[in-house]
Amino acid sequence: MRQVWIAGLALMALPLASGAQPGARPEPRLAPESFYGLTTSTLEGQPADLGSFAGKVALVVNLASRCGFTPQYTGLEKLYRELQGRGFTILGFPSNDFGGQEPGTAREIRQFCSLNYDVTFPLFEKVVTRVGPGQSPVYANLQKQSGELPSWNFAKYLVGKDGRVVKFYPSRVPPEDAGLRKDIESALAR
């Protein structure tokens, strides 16, 4: 009986020995080469660790202010506000890669997003999505995982809680798309 009691104490002490707090959620297990293993900068130029989103489902979008798809900001913000309390986020990366449709400075982009679409989801530094020496490590990672790169503004990657790309959606798939919503719900349930 004494051995069972001692073994029980040892098992109870394991989480404490590992630094975990009693009752705390376990750290999410990240996939090898996880999207959440990357760092970048916020739109305002502050360091940003994408690991702070680990354990959440993310929709990563390359954005532009002067594009025919720019009205998708409305649906993206609606989706974000509706699902953020359930472990979902949208991560926006402005890009001037396609048609020069995001020429603004960080301040101009923030102002445009706030005034025209009341954007509250996280926005990051302007990036290069295309392959080449200036390509953002964020998009190099997304491409490596999915085999896809945006061919225009507002392409989307659904990233699971472990940082693995679940699916790629071209620009023409709006945030309101039933298939996209179903995929998000499925990723949240995992």
Going by the DSSP 8-state scheme, the letter that residue 71 receives in this structure is: T
94 within 8 A of 9, measured Cβ to Cβ: no
Helix, strand, coil proportions of the chain in percent (round to 5)? 40, 20, 45
- Residue 57 to residue 88: CA distance in whole angstroms: 5
124 within 8 A of 92, measured Cβ to Cβ: yes
Residues near 178 by beta carbon (within 8 Å), at least 6 away in sequence = none
- Residue 16 to residue 154: CA distance in whole angstroms: 44
Point out the residues that are catalytic.
116
Measured distance between the N- and C-terminal CA atoms of the chain, rounded to whole angstroms: 39
Residues near 147 by beta carbon (within 8 Å), at least 6 away in sequence = none
